[in-house]
Structure 1
């Protein structure tokens, strides 16, 4: 074993001890066999020396596909064609069920004032949609057709799917997941009682209009008060999803321990989709920038444990994910520091950009996983 300057490290060397970044995060675990790109990462993190096993291991080099030239890494074999076809088919079905859910939500929201909510029909379609939840990726899923004036329905359905996932991630009993999905689906149903001229107004609202918009929370609770097949958590999510844990939210200025967990979950999902969906008066924002804003909101506004879990789960992409940056460059994620999950290291034509250091650049969209 010997300490070696990173400038002298070669592909195929095995690390003896864990290598950490200057922030204390684990960069590479002990026992890792270094690839050419790993050496680029060591340089990017300004690591000066590491401890490696003595000598060169020819078997290791062959295993990782370096060969005598040490210049290339063996590419992954293409996935089984039948598996790829099945995955594409399931994704198409997810979109089909999503589109059906949007149409049903339009009908339900347009008729709820005059008649009872078709809750059992909504539940059947919601269950059909959720049967494909494993193919729903929060950061990458994009509806096939988005009419900007249908924002309220897309936000509802996306918030439903995302809330369902968050419920599982934070450890709620599985029997509650469908009710949390209902909470996401119906949290903005009170908007059906808001004047469309206010709801879709492209310019800034007046103080009176803001007050009217805020009433959608109480309107929602009233509309759901006598609906069967949903529990009180669903009703309270409609009422409380704009409450903040520091007591600065509305309509009741509740503090964290008085806000129902369903409302806390829906609040995170609603904010994410409200900012990443295109509206009539505002373009969609980068999901990674939105995650950073949600992270900042966790300090005093949103439930910090839910936010931390949400961000950690949705940013768990494997190295090799292809992304487009805000400067329109296409690159590949080569390292993700869990201390900065929204700002991984991205390789572009052999040059590594550390988004933690280059704060003016961010991930605009994920192209492939």
Structure 2
């Protein structure tokens, strides 16, 4: 069981079931969006989606910008940057929230992380916190000069792992006038300690393995990856954490996208395992909203970071009654509650 837990901490892979069978839904959408109610065409007077690309440290970044109904580029609109979960892509939950916030009158942007998804960067699937934080700064760079955006009214929403990285970005980047997280996941703490601190006894072993992986990269150029293993449906059902069980279902079946994978370079662990999203939380002076499901087994990470945000001008912890971590990504009643809170928060703080 311990080996399964550690494997799941690296996984969520969408490769355990037939990709061809599970990825049909993305092919039914011209923008390859996989969430309920996704835009299928740009219609005048409604929310429109715009595929854009830009350079970030010479890496091509692939992003989607959503403009609100009756968008007029000669006017000025508040904007919201949306950071996607670990292993996720802009066409999944990040796109859902970006589209719904655009319905409320915001210009929104969500981009695939560098080295991941449709964005460039080699070797593929590097997953380092510094890169993910820089991705968020880069989205702010791009959207602040987008036609119609008021650069003095930029907010930030981070989902799951993107939530942890958003907290770090907002600590120093004061272009973000307010910051919100949904089902925040502290990637560094989990990669170091295991989910719910279930792998404390293997920290040194995993650090040595990651060090060896980097040595091999330097000597031979061969990249060693984590999360290439596959679990059967029976093994998934036996996993002790609901986040992992439901995560496999979301990423591998109901909302599968071919660009979404939890495969990452093992050498990335050298950066991940000494990272912690909850450090220096006192640097956040902006209004802060942290949303999580009341039944989420990841809730402990949101609570810890929230308590440490002692200098936020105004902070709120909002629990969605009955929701688990993954259910906040797609279940309509929980998404609507989160969006209602986010709409009120951003309307007040931007």
Ranked by relative contact order (alpha carbons within 8 Å, sequence separation 6 or more), the top structure is 2
Note whether the superposition's TM-score is higher than 0.5: no
Name which one, 1 or 2, has greater alpha-carbon Rg. Answer: 1
TM-score, scaled to structure 2: 0.32
